Amino acid sequence: MNFEMIRAASVRAEGHVRRTPLLSSPFLNELAGRPIYIKAECLQHTGSFKFRGGWSALSALEPEIRARGVIAFSSGNHAQAVAHAAALHGTSSVIVMPADAPTVKINNTRALGAEVVLYDRGTEDREAIGSALAKERGLTLIRPYDEPQVIAGQGTCGLEIAEQADELGIEKATVLTCCGGGGLTSGIALALEKSPHHVRPVEPYGFDDVARSLATGSISRNNRQTGSICDAIISPQPGDMTFPIMQRLCGPGLVVSDDEALRAMAHAFERLRLVIEPGGAVTLAAALFHADQIEGDALILTASGGNVDASMFARALQTLETP
């Protein structure tokens, strides 16, 4: 896992992955007490940065391997990213999802061209189902974060951040990343290793496995897997591959509440005209509500995704009326 792999992923991504804009607002600068810049990954294909990793992984496969198809376990953004990247590469994808996943997510993943295989969370083992299918059909498994080419793909977001910071004259920034398993965080940290910018991961309260692991120096798990609206960035624990990278390159983790994420979504609606999902808004929440814990004259914040349903977004908008 190194910088050259990110560069190579970036070349493969050209013309396929969107260079998302780095946005700002004088109103948000005022609220945050310093210039802040939002890297709008919610505008990426399939609505999240995950498409970078999906594209990178698919495009890195040998053509004859790729032609047999790929498989992923996900009910969320990784599912749609892999499905779409596979379809655009002219190959097939199988996405293994829990049978109780929201119908809209199942339908969207199918509409993007995937074969969706449902399993019962209570009685079935998704790994066993996936392994059997993969073996039977010769499918390649695309892991959501502990996968070098996926990390390389997410790292392309970091290359763009470095370029855009240069274009905007931002000399040195603290870069906050929305952090689940650490694919985006470690990819960006590697991409920015030789830059003046410094990365810090942000997580929701109660699901701060990365923050705790960084603090103690060894991987620790979350007690729960559900119970935060920031579902897009909840994972059991930091990846075996992503954690050493984060440990070497990242500053301490930051933690925000669900309510702060909702308020940040509302500010992004009002001042940036962006739809950000709760997990994608934790970085803006940290910048707005935990400024005292963050060093740096300027902040760059990844807004990692925008796949949020209307009722949750309406909840976020309500926070504008009760300041």
Element (H, E) at 55: helix 50-60
Residue 300 beta carbon to its own copies: minimum distance, rounded to whole angstroms = 16
CA dist 14 and 287 (Å) reads 31
Residue 34 beta carbon to its own copies: minimum distance, rounded to whole angstroms = 17
Contact 114, 93 (CB under 8 A): yes
| Side chain identity, residue 74 | S
CA dist 294 and 129 (Å) reads 44
Residue 44 beta carbon to its own copies: minimum distance, rounded to whole angstroms = 9
Nearer to its own copies, 30 or 240 (CB): 30
Residue 21 beta carbon to its own copies: minimum distance, rounded to whole angstroms = 6
Nearer to its own copies, 66 or 84 (CB): 84
Nearer to its own copies, 56 or 80 (CB): 80
Residue 262 beta carbon to its own copies: minimum distance, rounded to whole angstroms = 12
Q: Which residues lie across from 56 on neighbouring strands?
A: none
Residue 228 beta carbon to its own copies: minimum distance, rounded to whole angstroms = 20
Nearer to its own copies, 42 or 298 (CB): 42
Contact 113, 83 (CB under 8 A): yes
Cα atoms found within 13 Å of the Cα of residue 275, Cβ hemisphere only: 14
Instruction: Output the CA angle 31-32-37, nearest 5 degrees.
Output: 115
Residue 41 beta carbon to its own copies: minimum distance, rounded to whole angstroms = 10
| Side chain identity, residue 315 | R
Nearer to its own copies, 7 or 16 (CB): 16
Q: What is 178-198 written as a DSSP string?
A: E-SSSHHHHHHHHHTTTSS-E
Nearer to its own copies, 35 or 206 (CB): 35
Binding site for its own copies (CB under 8 A): 15, 18, 20-21, 23, 26-27, 30, 40, 42-43, 47, 84, 108, 111-112, 167, 266, 269-270, 272-276, 306-307, 310, 313-314, 317-318, 320-321
Contact 246, 189 (CB under 8 A): yes
Contact 78, 283 (CB under 8 A): no
CA dist 219 and 240 (Å) reads 8
Nearer to its own copies, 225 or 318 (CB): 318
